[in-house]
Structure 1
C-alpha cells in the first residue's frame, strides 16, 4: 500500500517531547506518510502538526475515554501510544480496528493487562511491547554484538543523560509512577531473576569519554527480551545522570551497550557500542518508536507484520536498526569494552 493512500498513523502523545520528535523523524523517513498528532491539548497538537508539515493533522485524544474522544468513523493505520495507556482504551481501539499497536510506556512489571488483552483477541492485531530502553534500540544493539559470539555471558545496558534531563512530562510521569509504587528493578544475576532496591541497584557506569557515573537499575523490558534471545546469565539496564558541574546539563544522551562472552574460537571477548545523540533522552526514544512503527506497517524491512504479541527483537533486524539510527543522526561507535 502506498503511504499516500494509507490511513494516518496516530501518535498518542504526539505533541509531547518524544512524540514531536517521533513525528519529525517519521516525516523525514517517509515524506508522504499521513500522520495524526494526538494530544489532550488540541492547540498544542496543531502547532506540532504545522511544524512537522506534509500530510499531518492534529486530533484531540483522551485515553480515559472508551472512544478516545475521536470523531466517529476516524480510521488509522497504526496506533502508537507514547504515554501510559492506563485504561487500555487505545489498545482496545487498535484491536477493534485490526491495526498495529505499540505500547511504549509499560515497565516490565506492568505488561499484564496488555498480555491479557492480546490473549483474549490473539488474531485481531499486532501488539508490540516497547517498554525497552530507548524504544528497543538498546536490545537490538546488544543482539547485534551478540551475533559475533558463540556464547554470551553478560549484557549490561546503560543510558547516560544530562543532569536535568527528565525526558518531558510523559517520561516524568512514568518515573513518578515507578517511585510511588516503590518499584524495584528486575535483573538477571548469575542465572537468577532478582529484584534490586536501594544501594544494591546501583553500579559504576563509564561513558564514552571515560568519565564514571553512578547508574541506577531500572525495571525495563530489555532484561526479559535479552534473556529469551540469548544464553546470558547476567543482564541489567541502568540510567545515570552526568554531573552538572562537569557540564552535565547539556543536551547529550549516551547509550552504552556491553556484551561479554566467548568467540567461536573459544577466546573471551567484551564488545561495546556507544550510541550518542546531541539531544535529550526523548530523541533516541523517538527513534526507537519510529523504527518499530515503520517495520510494523511494512514501510521498511519486510511486509506488514501480522497479528501477534511481539517484543522488538521479534520483528526488527539488529543490523538494520543500527543503520537506521545512524541515518537519523545518532553517532554509533564500536569499541572493545
Structure 2
C-alpha cells in the first residue's frame, strides 16, 4: 500500500528524531517528511532515516511552505502559538498530533476542533511522555473492579537533556501554569503555593522534593478510572540509577488503590523506567500514535478529539517499550 508522507514538524529535534527512528524501525517503507525552520538540519536527519526528506516549514504560510505536497498526518513537537499546524491539518483533512500544550493551554486547540469537528482527527498529546503513564496505568487498572485513588510520581533526572523545544516547554509550563489540577474527594481543584509542594519516594527509597503537576494524565485517569482522588507529582533531581553510580534514568511510579474483581482491597504499584531517560518514551508514544493516525497500524482513526492513550494498545505498548530497553516493574505496596 502506498502512503502519503507523514510530516514531523520539529522533527530534527531530539524527540522528533527519536520518534522518527522508532516509526522507521516499525514501518521501513513509510515515507517521512522531516520539517523544520533549518532545512539543512532537517535534511541531515532525513538522510539518516531512509525514505525520508527534509523540508523547510514556514508557520506564517497557510500551506506551511509546502505548496501542494501531499501529507497523510502531522506531528508537532513544539508549542505553536498560532495553531498554524492544526489549521493546516484541518484544511487538508489530515490527522494532527501536538505534544506541548499544558492543561491550562488546551483552549485554542479544543476551540479549533469544535469549530471544525468533521475536518480531521485532533490528538492532544501532552500526556506525560505521550502515554508512558496512562497506557500502563490503564493496563494495571484491569485488575480492579473499582479504583479509589491514583497517584503518579514522575522523576526526571536533572542531567536528562531534552533539547531546546523540550526545555522551552518545561520552562513555559512551570512559569505560566497558574496552579496544579488535582481531583480530591471527587472534585477538580487547583492547588497553588505551598499547597502544590509535596514529595515523592524514588525507586531506591529516597524521598525527593516535588511539585504537584497537571499534565493531561490527571484528566485521563480521573475520567477513565472514576477515582475520587487523582494526583500527579513531578520531581527533578538525581535519579535512583545515577545514585547507584549507573547512567541516569527516568522513573514513573504509578500507585492505584481500590478493590479487586472479587471486591477485596487491592493496591497495585508499578514503575515505568527507561535507562535512556525521558526522550525514548516520548518518541515511542509519538511513533505509536502516528502509526494509528496514518493508518499504518490497524484501521485509520476517524475524525474526533483524542488523547494518546485512546489510540495505543496497552499490550503492544508494553512489548514495544521492552524492545527499546524500557520496562514496567512491579513494586511492593
Bucket of the pairwise TM-score, normalised by the shorter protein: over 0.9
TM-score (norm 2): 0.93
Question: Are 2:37 and 1:36 aligned?
Answer: no
Question: Are 2:74 and 1:88 aligned?
Answer: no
**C-alpha distance in structure 2 between counterparts of 1:66 and 1:158, whole Å:** 41
Name the structure 1 match of 2:142: 147
Aligned residues: 331
Is the partner of 2:233 in helix, strand or coil? strand
CA offsets 1:156-198 (integer angstroms, 9 cap, x no match): 1222121233521111111222243253111112212111223
Name the structure 1 match of 2:95: 100
Name the structure 1 match of 2:217: 222
**C-alpha distance in structure 1 between counterparts of 2:244 and 2:34, whole Å:** 34
CA RMSD of superposed structures (Å): 2.0
Name the structure 2 match of 1:308: 304
Task: List structure 1 segments (4+ residues) > 4 angstroms apart after TM superposition.
Answer: 247-250
Is the partner of 2:170 in helix, strand or coil? helix
Question: Are 2:11 and 1:22 aligned?
Answer: no
How far did residue 88 of structure 1 move? 0.9
Is the partner of 1:36 in helix, strand or coil? strand
Unaligned runs of 5+ in 2: none
Instruction: Sort the Cα spacing of 1:336 and 1:202 in 2 relative to 1 into closer, same or farther, 3 A.
Output: same
TM-score (norm 1): 0.92
**C-alpha distance in structure 1 between counterparts of 2:295 and 2:260, whole Å:** 34
- Structure 2 contact 132–272 (Cα < 8 Å) conserved: no
Q: Which moved more, 1:34-43 or 1:322-331?
A: 322-331
1:183 to 160, 173, 178: 178
CA offsets 1:276-304 (integer angstroms, 9 cap, x no match): 1121312211111111111222322x200
CA offsets 1:199-230 (integer angstroms, 9 cap, x no match): 32233322223332222222210111111111
Name the structure 2 match of 1:258: 255
